[in-house]
Amino acid sequence: MSDLSPSDAAKLAAARAAIALVQDGMAVGLGTGSTASVMVRELATRVQAEGLTLRCAATSQVTADLAASLGLSVESLDDIGHLDLTIDGADELDPDLNLIKGGGGAHLREKIVAASSDRMVVIADPAKVVEQLGAFHLPVEVIRFGWETTRERIKTALDAMDLDGRPVLLRMRDGAPFVTDEGNHILDLSLEAIPDAVALNRALNAIPGVVENGLFIGLCDLALIGQPDGGVVELAVFREDETREDG
């Protein structure tokens, strides 16, 4: 690991710890982002070395393409139906292992895949661990039709939660609005801090035109935080199934 940057060494350590949880015959959800792509590469290496049989569902087209190119068996989520384990990155995680995701614009599929899994394990470097969510922008995927009126409703909802005046920006890429795998736009909310993530999650997902926001509440029960020296810190919470938020 010595020729890797501290951040890349941490991602690799987390990825390796996560793929150690994968067992032969499992159905595995593959996350999206730079940390998840390290995990996909490590997983493919292990599958080849040990001759494992896995069924994989990807959380984005980019991940599906990468996994298939490395020889992993990628199927649609519906063909698999239910997953044993999903391994994904995160933009922020708090002490309850609630997350902000969607920095890569894939949080809609990521949340569907995580919710279809017995277990979601997050892999991250130490910079992602926060006391309170919200310093990272919160992505909200919105239908393109009427997106500006949807943005106004989001601002009204933020006002009602004492989050008034926070910027709500249309995500751009290469000079044009970013388009997700599902053909939608993303609004990035610069909230600075999210005092009540459960209430915000519900309020945002109740707005017509909002498809899904990047708050993952009660979906993750284990985070593997890779360290630059190759070590891994495990953060775990106990969850009963009924504590999972459905949005």
Q: Which stretch binds ligand 5RP (CB under 6 A): 16-24, 85-93, 166-174, 222-230?
A: 85-93
Selected range binding ligand 5RP among 45-53, 89-97, 192-200, 202-210, rule: CB under 6 A: 89-97
Token couple for 15:
């990825």
- In this complex, which beta carbon is closest to ligand 5RP, that of residue 155 or of residue 210? 210
CA distance 99 to 87: 14
CA dihedral 36→72→212→150, nearest 10 degrees, is: 100
User: Which residues, 6 or more positions from 25, have their beta carbon under 8 angstroms from its beta carbon?
Assistant: 53, 54
Q: How far is the CB of 177 from ligand 5RP (least distance, A)?
A: 17
End-to-end CA distance of the chain: 38
Tell me which of 92, 110, 141, 212 is the catalytic residue: 110
By CB under 6 A, is residue 90 in contact with ligand 5RP? yes
Verify whether residue 240 is a known catalytic residue.
no
Residues 26-45 that bind ligand 5RP (CB under 6 A): 31-36
- In whole angstroms, give the CA distance from residue 91 to residue 138: 9
Amino acid occupying residue 152: E
Binding residue (CB under 6 A) for ligand 5RP from 10, 18, 47, 88: 88
Helix axes 61-69, 34-50, angle to 10 degrees: 30
- Regarding 101 and contact with ligand 5RP (CB under 6 A), the answer is yes
Is residue 185 a contact residue for ligand 5RP (CB under 6 A)?
no
Cβ proximity to ligand 5RP, 33 vs 134, nearer residue: 33
CB of 204 to ligand 5RP, least distance (A): 16
Residue type, 89: G
Cα–Cα distance for residue pair 85/105, rounded to 1 Å: 21
Residue 186, Cβ density class (10 Å: 0-12 exposed, 13-18 middle, ≥19 buried): buried
Closest approach of Cβ 234 to ligand 5RP, in Å?
18
Helical (H) or strand (E) element with 123: strand 117-124
Segment contacting ligand 5RP by CB under 6 A, of 86-94, 184-192, 202-210, 231-239: 86-94
Give me 238's structure tokens: 């106990």
Candidate residues 74, 106, 187, 222; the one interacting with ligand 5RP per rule CB under 6 A:
106
Between 8 and 52, CB nearer to ligand 5RP: 8
Q: Residues 104, 134, 218, 226: which binds ligand 5RP (CB under 6 A)?
A: 104
Which tokens is 205 given?
């997902």
Which residues in this chain contact ligand 5RP in the complex, by CB under 6 A? 31-36, 88-91, 101-107, 110
Among all residues, which ones are annotated catalytic?
110
